[in-house]
Structures are given as C-alpha cells and as structure tokens.
Amino acid sequence: MTENIYWRNRELRHHVAVMDGTAEPDIVLKNGIYLNTYTKQWLRANVWIVNDRIVYVGDQLPGDSSSAEMVDCDDMYLVPGYIEPHAHPYLLYNPEQLAMHGAKSGTTTFINDSLMWHFLLDQKKAFSLLEAFNHLPVSMYWWARFDSQTALQQSGEFFSTNKVLAWLKHPSVIQGGELTAWPHLLDGDDRLLYWMQESNRLGKPVEGHLPGASEKTLTKMKLLGVTADHEAMTGKEAIQRLQLGYQTGLRYSSIRPDLPVILEEMLAEGLETFDHVTMTTDGATPAFYENGIMNVCIDIAIEKGVPLADAYRMASHNAANHYGLLEELGCIAPGRIANINILQEKDNPHPVSVLAKGKWITKNHQEQTIPTKIDWEKYAIEPVVFDWDLKLEDLQFSVPIGLDMVNDVIIKPYAIKTDVTLDVIPDTRDDAFLMLIDRKGEWRVNTAIKGFTNRLGALVSSYSTTGDLVFIGKSKQDILLAWKRLKELGGGIVLVHEGEILFELPLELGGIMFAGSMNELIEKEKHLKKLLQDFGYPFGDPVYSIHILSATHLPYIRITQQGIVDVKKRETLFPATMR
C-alpha cells in the first residue's frame, strides 16, 4: 500500500511539474470548443494531457512542447467520453469485446453486471479478473450482485453474506444490485436489507429493478435504500421516479427501445431539468450495437429536443456524479481521466476521434490497433468439457404445464394438450419440446413451449441465464444431433433441422461468450435471428428470449434449476429430475 501511495504522489507531482513548465504534456488538444458540464457552457480552450489524465483546460499552451503530440481542434467540439451506466456485458459478446467496440464510437466507460463471474469463477479468480480489466484503455467498473435472477439449486453457494460483502468492498465495484429480488425485500428479507445498508454505508448506490411499480412500492423501496431505477416504461413513470428522488435511467435496448417515446412524453409533461437522468442500453443483443452504444442514445435525445448540454450530460456527467466518480470521469477538467470525444459538430455525438485514458481509440475516423489485454485461459474461461452424454431416455416429456410465450420476455403457463410422447411434434401443433439441463449433467427439467418455433427440429444453447443448457425443438433426433455438435464445440448455439446442421455459433469462453470480433458476432447473430424467424419465431429478439427463460424477475412462469416455477406465487410447480 505504501508503494502505491508513493507512486500516486509522484504522479501528482509530475502533473504539477507540467503546469510549472519543468515537464511536458504528452498530448495537447489545441483551440477546441469543449462542453463544460458543470456550467453547461461551450468554451474554447486548450486541453493538456499527461499519460491518462487531463492536467489543464484553459487558454494557455505549454511553454516547452517539443515532444508533445499537438492536435489542432479548431472548428472541433470536445465532450466527455460517454458512460454506459448499466451494462450486461455477456450477451454472447464478452466484456472486453463489448468495451472496445463501444469505445470506437465514444463509449469509454462501462458499469457492468458481474453475474456471470459468479457462475464461471471462484471469488479469488473473479477479483483477479476485475483487476485485469483495469488495464484496458476503457474504464471498467462492476456491480455487487445480491441475487441470481433465477431459482438456483444452491443459491447460498453464490450469494452468501461473506461473498456479497467482499464484492461490495472491492474498489472496482461501485454499486449494489441490480435488485431483481425486491419482492423478497418487501416480504421481510433482512439479510437482503443488510446488504443494501452496507452498500449505502460504503457510499455505493443500490440499483433497483422495479418495472410497473406503484407509487407506494417505489416509496417503500426508496425508504429501504434503493437509490436508482431504470425500469420506467413511460414518461410519467420516469418523472414519478425523479420526483421521489431516484436517479432515473431511460432505456434503449434491443428488448425495450423505449427511449424516444419516454423522452417525448417527459418533454410534453414540461420537464425542464435532466440532472438526475441517465440513459442505458441495458444489455442489448449484439446487432443492436452495430452503430455504437451511448452515441446512439445521445443522438436520440438531441433529436427529441433535450437541451444539447443535458443530452451529453445524461451520458457522462450525470452518471459519474451518481456513482461518486465525478473527480475521475464524466467531465473535461483537471485531474480527470482523459476520456474525450472529438466531434465534427456539437449536435453530432458520433465522434471523429476518441481518446480513452489518454490513448487514441479512433483518430480522424481511423480505428487504431489496440492489443487485447484479457488472457481468458489464465482464468480457465475456455470451451466447456462435457463429460456426460444426452440419451434418448432423457427426452421424456410428461409434465402437464408448459410455457407460452406472450412476447420476447413474458411467458404464461398453458395446459399441454399435444401428445409430447412422440419423437416428432407435428408442424400442425405450435408446441415444441423444451428442456433445461445442468451443464454438468446432474439434473434436467422437461416441458413444452409455445411461441418460439412452429417447425424447427432443434436448437441447443449453452448460453442462458446460468450457463445451463437450453433445448428447444420439434424432433428428438434433431435435438440429439444438435447436442452432439454442441458438445464438440465446447459450448455455443446450434440449430438442426431434419438431420442437417443449419447454424452454429461457438461460444468458446465458458459456453457463454464469443471469442472472435464484434463485427463477426453481429453478422452471426443477424443470421441466427433470420433463421429462427423463418422457422416461426414471431418476436424481435430470440437471443434474449433464450436468455430469460430462467429469469424469475419477469412474469409469469419460468424453467429454472429448481424446476418449473410460478414467479408470482414463488412456488415450484414441477421439480427438476435428477439424472
């Protein structure tokens, strides 16, 4: 610790030496017009950068700058690097891949869900991985999860008080949540309340998950310590959260692209201040990010009439302030991390150049080569070795209740009337086999599903809420073939129809995440979506539908490790079968 303090003091003295003229800056952005997010003014200035920090913003140029990179920003506009305040960085992509992709279009900070590390890593390795992410040019922060979003067989294995408090105390963890288990809190779960109190005591806000919550529920959750929520679905709901003192996130995701309408409604209600409003893409699927991340949200805000300075603050200053990071991020000012976007026009948030921690990510529209930093093998995040096999006798379906998809994420129970003892469900029936199997092969849950496909032979996916295996399809033989190919891949998504493999997406990182480029993944996801729609998937986001089959924070019925669960009653209707 002493050495770290000494090193930091030496760095600070070097910053002052640059100001005194006895040392030189590394980069000088000359004569640009920058957004001062404190005063909401556009001001002309020179910006000096040393290593990863801004050391000066003002009229002066350094006296001796013979070794500095001088960048003429005349007729250019400088804004803080954008912040994604609520990322789920494992929806087929991996966190490094998502971060570097987002940085190219100006999103230089991510505040990330840690859920997948609970399932893939022990705590020591997970914390070591968090440290590794600190070496990326993108600023990476994390949440301390309080719950799993599903019904686990051994929940205490992942979320004990000791483990939760250890996460909360980690310096890269800056919030508690998101709190999908809030009904348990209202029912008197004092352990959950204790974790929230500890989060707030440490100065780390607690993120809620309160879709459709009434004024009474929102008030009770505020009293119990929830400080933010991103689940407003209308302008009135967003304003209500602001009036109750919530930091309020507006969502623009692949599953709920609500942002344009919410902003229209908030402005129509006469809202004049956006100081406690942020925006989030809330873990969209890959193709949704084809044109960037927060730059797209800012563009929407500007187009809908949000005042220009507020539109940028909603994706920078406001988020940093909420998380207590304003001395580090979210503004262009001395001492802050040099995350800066350079724009052609002040109302065009798509940058021509991007600096992240003082390093060029994009320069004059040219993407710079950034070496990868995360050695996934070091953390044993690699292809899954399945040391068990799926057999025809596993494909026995006799449960009378199935899952009926109302839309991408809402699922209702239905009484199964189709004969699911057959090897193939006829195309004349809209049911398909549905099975969730432990990735270690120890248990299974068999039922049926309506609304995902009307004729596809088989889909198997190791990508799911918990990393367990999801099987959906009409044909048991196609299911077995899809399983065989998935096993060979070491995890991924495989589609089979009438004995032919139609599609495969290898997920080499723990069976959850793709190891290739983001552009390649985007094209593969587009192809997957097109195939599934051709086979009768009627909604917009099939990857998300697979992901949330086990997610018990959504109504009404789910397939989980414990079995088929009634979410509202919190009852297991039909338990898992041990193999």
Alpha carbons 468 and 444: distance in angstroms, whole number: 10
Tell the residue number behind the tokens 């051994």, with chain if given. 154
For residue 349, what are the CA distances in angstroms to 100, 209, 321?
18, 29, 21
Q: Reading across the β-sheet that carries 173-179, which strands appear in turn? A: 82-87, 107-112, 139-144, 173-179, 206-208, 228-229, 247-251, 277-280
Low-confidence ranges of the chain (pLDDT < 50): 1-3
The H or E element spanning position 298 is helix 294-304
State residue 454's pLDDT score.
94
State residue 2's pLDDT score.
43
206: which DSSP letter? E
Alpha carbons 304 and 505: distance in angstroms, whole number: 38
Tell the residue number behind the tokens 């690699």, with chain if given. 382
Alpha carbons 486 and 177: distance in angstroms, whole number: 33
| CA angle centred on 69, ends 67 and 70, rounded to 5° | 115
Residue 504, token pair as written in the block: 């495969």
What's the maximum distance between 2 C-alpha atoms anywhere in the chain?
Answer: 83
- Helix locations, 425-575, DSSP H: 476-489, 518-534, 542-547
Question: CB within 8 A of 303, min separation 6: which ones?
Answer: 260
Residue 384, token pair as written in the block: 């899954």
Alpha carbons 170 and 167: distance in angstroms, whole number: 5
Q: Quick count: other Cβ atoms within 10 Å of Cβ 79?
A: 30
Question: CB within 8 A of 10, min separation 6: which ones?
Answer: none
Nearest to 235 by CA among 279, 267, 207: 267
The helix/strand count (H/E) of the chain reads as: 16, 29
- Report whether 433 contacts 479 (CB < 8 A): yes
Alpha carbons 30 and 284: distance in angstroms, whole number: 37
Alpha carbons 575 and 86: distance in angstroms, whole number: 33
For the chain, how far is it from start to end, CA to CA, in angstroms? Answer: 50
Residue 371, token pair as written in the block: 């070496």
State residue 6's pLDDT score.
64
368: which DSSP letter? P
Q: Quick count: other Cβ atoms within 10 Å of Cβ 125?
A: 15
Alpha carbons 241 and 356: distance in angstroms, whole number: 33
Alpha carbons 392 and 410: distance in angstroms, whole number: 30
State residue 332's pLDDT score.
98
Q: What is the DSSP string of 106-128?
A: TEEEEEE--HHHHHHS-HHHHHH
- SS3 letters for 338-361? CCEEEECCCCCCCCCEEEECCEEE
Q: What residues does 461 pair with on adjacent strands?
A: 470, 493
Q: Quick count: other Cβ atoms within 10 Å of Cβ 341?
A: 32
Identify the three-state secondary structure at position 501: strand
Residue 479, token pair as written in the block: 């299911």
For residue 220, give the amino acid letter. Answer: K
Alpha carbons 430 and 452: distance in angstroms, whole number: 9
